Amino acid sequence: MLSVLIWLPIIGAAIISILPDTIIPKNRVRLVSLTVAFLVLLWNVFILLKFDITNPGMQFSEYLPWNETLGLAYQLGVDGLSILMLILNSLLTWIAIYSSSENTERPKLFYSLILLVSGGVGGAFLAQNLLLFFLFYELELIPFYLLISIWGGNKRAYAGMKFLIYTAVSGALILATFLGIVWLSGSHSFALDAVNTQNLSTTMQVVLLAGIILGFGIKIPLIPFHTWLPDAYVEASAPIAILLGGILAKLGTYGLLRFGFGLFPQAWNVVAPTLAIWGAISAIYGAVVAISQKDIKRMVAYSSIGHMGYILLAAASGTKLALVGAVAQMFSHGLILAILFHLVGIIETKVGTRELDKLNGLMSPIRGLPIVSALLVLGGMASAGIPGLTGFIAEFIVFQGSFSSFPIPTLLCVASSGLTAVYFVILLNRTCFGKLNNDLAYYPKVVWAEKIPALVLAGLIIFLGVQPTWLVRWNETTTSAMVGAIPTAGKIIISQVETNQHQQ
Amino acid sequence: MSERSPEAIWLMVLPMMVLFGLVLHLPLILQSLSLLPSWTALQKDVALLLIWSSIFGVSISAVIYLGNIPKPIALPWKGLQNLLAYDFYTPKLYKVTIIFGVAQLSKLADIVDRFVVDGIVNFVGLFSLLGGESLKYGNSGQTQFYAFTVLVGVAVLGAWATWPFWSVQFINLVF
């Protein structure tokens, strides 16, 4: 069941890249890849509907022994933490392919790389074996490097190489930590449920956890390992930026939750205060630097850094509500980032520039881009956390859950949420409102194929903002089980606020 | 050409008119639903104050708008007039304190991000590139030099790795 999510995109990539032009002509490649992505999305929704939300353990498990001497086995499973990420992966792949232009150069390579990435990320979210996770984690490096370097902007070679080196270092750190975990704790295989770190000394646990945090921290990204993100997101074309920001960054936070929080319950209390302050600093840094950007794509990239800080704060707090908020924020940030990058991509294609000083008055219904601007306003509001949209739900749960453990970092993150509103108002004010430049305002028409991905995402954002049950019901059981594994002796909780939570 | 007064868009006027009618009819609606309190609950002092403040306000505005006071109205002190006219200088205060502060902070953070954080990364990259450029001229093609380099490298690595075992005697020997 779950293998379909990995192998259908990969088979689709093979079909697109290997079959000759007589069977799949160049102008039909996008349609074929759209079909494959849509089939994967449908299968994913089917799995979502069959998912049992009352079961905290792994569901739909698959096991195939692969290499017993290495301890590598093809073991897949999905639980509350990964089911939403899988849906995000399939949805954003479909959106990214739909968002790509119809005259992309070298379409076969482009779409086969995108489908390969989609299959690889799905495999990483499904893997229940440490080495298998690492395999799928590293599978994305080369496709993304090629996607950024070939179809990107002016500084694409620099951005692609920087991305490659940063993520390769992250992969090396993670592999070293995984090997350390398995060999030092004496497990005989790399399977996730066989690894038990409880008999290691606390120092050793903290050292290994630091390796996990550093490795995944480069991917999330956390300050100061974040500098690959603005360059990579800005130089990548819109569909690649959607995939980078929506899915790849979530691999980092997923890895932190699954392998950091899940494998080191005792050591997590030791590092939690550091992580909470780190998350708050990351959130404020991302928001403050975004205010001074003059390029709208770079502004959205820094906003992504800020929003990932909330996830780190929630993961550090370790309360049930905060973990539910972390997973909710992962999903909602993926949706919001996708709509923002898609719309910024349309603006760049139609208007020709991305600079804040030159863009003006796009809301005009006569010669501007009214629907794109209106959806950009919606995306900006969602990112800033306006109630009624999904961003507010995720942020509110994160803040409510983290306040009992770490009040000061939570307040700093609330301030950063206010700063998010600052730069989005700057963006919307300069871009959408104001006066159109009469001489230059002859923009090509925005066709329906460009509006549909944004409308789908906007519909989801509004729906999840109004009916948040559909965002949180999948992961509540699993995250409660994960939090229950943490020993309560080391946790710092303000008892009054904790009592308030119990009464709800 | 007839000059029309500017009209507001119907999306604003229609709800306003509906609400206008609703508000004017509201006392009658409350009376018919028996939601108004009885006359005994009325506090005479408060009611009197309210009526007098309304009369006061209406009469002042009648004097100002219907009388012969020269417009625009000039207060005796220019400073006071400016204070009220510019809204207690609130927008200017905000601009000078909060907006300026946040903008400067964000510019500083951007400079740190571009030149310090990114600078370290780019410096490492530049260092590797330049190091490679200068090292490539060291190729001589003679195997004995390469073998000697390997030997020296392995010796240094081995010495560094076994340092705890011979550090004490070495320091005693030298110092």
Please report which confidence band the pLDDT of residue A504 belongs to, taking 50, 70 and 90 as the band edges: very low
Q: State ipTM.
A: 0.81
Spatial distance between the Cα atoms of B53 and B37, rounded to a whole number of angstroms: 23
For chain A, the structural domain boundaries read 286-504
Within 8 A of A226 by CB-CB distance, chain B residues are 117
Q: Which residues of B touch A229 (CB under 8 A)?
A: none
Q: Mention every residue, 6+ apart, whose C-beta is less than 8 A from residue B151.
A: none
Q: Please give the mean pLDDT across all residues of chain B.
A: 90
pLDDT at A366 over 60: yes
A436-448 average pLDDT score? 85
The two tokens of residue A340 are 């923002």
Cβ–Cβ of A291/B103 closer than 8 Å? yes
Amino acid symbol at B42: L
Comparison of pLDDT for A144 and A266, the residue scoring more: A144
Residues in A touching B118 (Cβ below 8 Å):
227
Rounded distance, CA B157 to CA B155, Å? 5
pLDDT over 90 (residue A57): no
In the predicted model, is pLDDT for residue A374 greater than 70? yes
Q: What is the mean pLDDT of chain A?
A: 91
Tokens of A172: 């090396």
Higher pLDDT, A394 or B37: A394
Q: Give the pLDDT mean for A478-499.
A: 67
Check pLDDT > 80 for residue A337.
yes
Give residue A494's pLDDT. Answer: 53
- Cα distance from B96 to chain A (closest Cα, Å)? 16
pLDDT band at A2, cuts 50/70/90? very high
SS3 annotation, A167-226? HHHHHHHHHHHHHHHHHHHCCCCCEHHHCCCCCCCHHHHHHHHHHHHHHHHHHCCCCCCC
Which pLDDT belongs to residue A491? 56
Please say if the pLDDT value at position B171 is more than 60. Answer: yes
Token output for A121: 């990320």
pLDDT band with cut points at 50, 70 and 90 for residue A501: low
Which segment of A338-347, A383-392, B65-74, B152-161 scores lowest on mean pLDDT?
B65-74
Banded model confidence at residue A139, pLDDT cuts 50, 70, 90: very high
pLDDT tens digits for A228-265? 999 999 999 999 999 999 999 999 999 999 999 988 88
Query: Which residues from chain B sit within 8 angstroms of residue A422, using beta carbons?
Result: 102
Rg (CA), chain B: 43
Interface of A with B (CB under 8 A): 162, 223-224, 226-227, 285, 288-293, 419, 422
Q: Taking 70 as the threshold, does the pLDDT of residue B83 lie above it?
A: yes
- Map residue A359 onto helix, strand or coil: coil
Residue with the larger pLDDT of the pair A372 and A185: A372
Question: Quick check: B117 and A224 CB within 8 A?
Answer: yes
Q: For residues B19 and A499, what is the distance between their CA atoms, to the nearest angstrom? A: 45
* Cβ-contact A325, A307 below 8 angstroms: no
User: Would you say A390 and A257 are in contact if contact means Cβ atoms under 8 Å apart?
Assistant: no
Contacts of A291 in chain B (CB under 8 A): 102-103, 106
Closest partner residue to B106 among A162, A227, A291, by Cβ? A291
Task: List pLDDT tens digits, range A72-120.
Answer: 899 999 998 999 999 999 999 999 999 998 888 899 999 999 999 999 9
- Give the closest-approach CA distance of A427 to chain B in angstroms: 14
Average pLDDT over residues B8-32: 93
Distance CA A44, CA A355 (A): 38
Q: How many of the other CB atoms lie within 10 Å of CB of A81?
A: 23
* Residues in chain B closer than 8 A to A292 (CB atoms): 103, 106-107, 109-110
Q: How is residue A71 written in tokens?
A: 């301890």
Distance from CA of A281 to the nearest CA of B (A): 12
Determine the pLDDT at residue A276: 95
DSSP SS3 for A127: strand
| Cα distance between residue A80 and residue A119, in whole Å | 20
Q: Which two tokens stand for residue B168?
A: 């004490």
> If you count residue pairs, one on A and one on B, with CB atoms under 8 Å apart, how many are there?
30
Q: Which tens digit of pLDDT belongs to each residue from B105-131?
A: 999 999 999 999 889 989 999 999 999
Nearest to A288 among B109, B117, B118 (CB): B109
In chain A, the residue whose alpha carbon lies closest to the alpha carbon of B108 is A289
- Burial bucket for residue A290 (CB in 10 Å: 0-12, 13-18, 19+): buried
Q: Could A288 and B121 be called an inter-chain contact, meaning their C-beta atoms sit closer than 8 Å?
A: no
pLDDT score at A488: 66
Name every chain A residue with its beta carbon within 8 A of the beta carbon of B9: none
- Its pTM stands at 0.86
Q: Please compute the mean of the pLDDT values over residues A300-314 and round it to a whole number.
A: 95
**Which of A490 and A421 is assigned the larger pLDDT?**
A421
Q: Is a pLDDT exceeding 90 seen at residue A441?
A: no
Instruction: Say if residue A136's pLDDT is above 80.
Output: yes
- Pairwise CA distance, residues A474 & A133, whole Å: 22
Dump pLDDT digits (tens) for A273-288.
999 999 999 999 999 9
Close Cβ partners of A287 (under 8 Å, ≥ 6 residues apart): A302, A303, A306, A416, A419, A420, A422, A423
What is the per-residue pLDDT for A502? 53
| pLDDT at residue A208, as a whole number | 93
Closest by Cα among A93, A456, A154, A451 to A297: A154
Predicted confidence at residue A376, as pLDDT, reads: 95
Confidence of residue A71 (pLDDT cuts 50, 70, 90): confident
Q: Which of A39-43, A304-308, B166-170 has the lowest mean pLDDT?
A: B166-170
pLDDT of residue A492: 54
Q: Is the pLDDT of residue A496 over 60?
A: no
Closest chain B C-alpha to A166 CA, distance in angstroms: 10
